[in-house]
Amino acid sequence: MADGNSLRRKLAIASWSGPSEGNIYGKVTVDAGPALEYLAHVEDTTGEKVTVTHLVGKAVGEALAKEPSLNGYLRLGRYERHDEVALAFLVSMPDGSDLAKAKVRRIDEKSVAEIARDLRERAERLRAGEDDDWERSKGVVRLLPTFLLRPLLWFVGLLSSSFGVEAKGLGIEPFPFGSAIVTSVGMFGLDEAWVPPTPFARVPLYVLIGAVTERPVVVDGAVEVRPQLTITATVDHRFIDGFQGGVLAAEFRRVFQDPWSLDGLDGPPARKATA
């Protein structure tokens, strides 16, 4: 059973405040049929367990690479670009007791299978207690009372996520969350939800993945039942306006309509062979 006073809850309490920044909320619903077919193919050919979460992460990475104004951070009131595209995925610890983050670097340069492997290996280390940074950060959070943890989180977030400072003693790496945080509630049976911003992460984009559900949709003028997926985004208005949001939505639609293009294919190999 999850601990009611988990580290995740303590961090949430310490970092919470009333809304003070302008955020934009948006969602896109896509047909998940081609994606599910593609993911089954990747799993069959690579042996790596791949999910919709890995594909969404790839789509976010592609969008950030195409629109550099999304792939950055604020330092002393100025926008700075990251040298690479990196995303943080939230990982549920055993029995739901806590959440940890696993960062995938240069995600735009990796295949879906490579993203899945990186996340699996990092999650295994986290859950086995073998991730030194996570273990050190847990110790600090456990020791400090909430009223001291709040200013420490703000200060560490400023150093690590705005100046790229490394703090090994606290288990903090430079830009620990990259440019975006990706998480999922689909495994809990929720169709959609919205990610609340995490102030100390200092990222402009939070992406949440809902459950794939069968819904009636209109296809070529006729009603069909198709697997649908809703993806929501919480975005910092200082980084993103309508244009950048459109780039993000368009990339999601492109990847889910034609995931085979990620591997340089025209479509499913079996379909091409029988054409």
Structure tokens at 236: 């910092």
Flag the least confident range among 19-23, 37-41, 103-107.
19-23
Average pLDDT, stretch 152-176? Answer: 87
CATH assignment at residue 97: 3.30.559
Percent of the chain surpassing pLDDT 90: 54
* Cα dihedral sign, 15-70-193-21: positive
If one counts the domains in the chain, the total is 1
3-state secondary structure of 39: helix
Q: Is the pLDDT at 253 greater than 90, yes or no?
A: yes
> Could you tell me if residue 187 is inside a domain?
no
- E-only strand ranges, the chain: 23-31, 72-75, 78-81, 87-92, 99-104, 180-184, 205-209, 213-219, 222-236
- E-only strand ranges, 133-184: 180-184
* DSSP one-letter string for 81-125: E-SS--EEEEEEPGGG--EEEEEETTGGGS-HHHHHHHHHHHHHH
> Could you tell me if residue 129 is inside a domain?
yes
CB 53 within 8 Å of CB 246: no
pLDDT tens profile 77-99:
888 999 999 999 998 877 666 78
Q: Who has greater pLDDT, 184 or 3?
A: 184
Percent of the chain surpassing pLDDT 70: 92
Whether this model's pTM surpasses 0.85: yes
Q: Which domain holds residue 97?
A: 7-15+36-182+241-258
> Could you tell me if residue 232 is inside a domain?
no
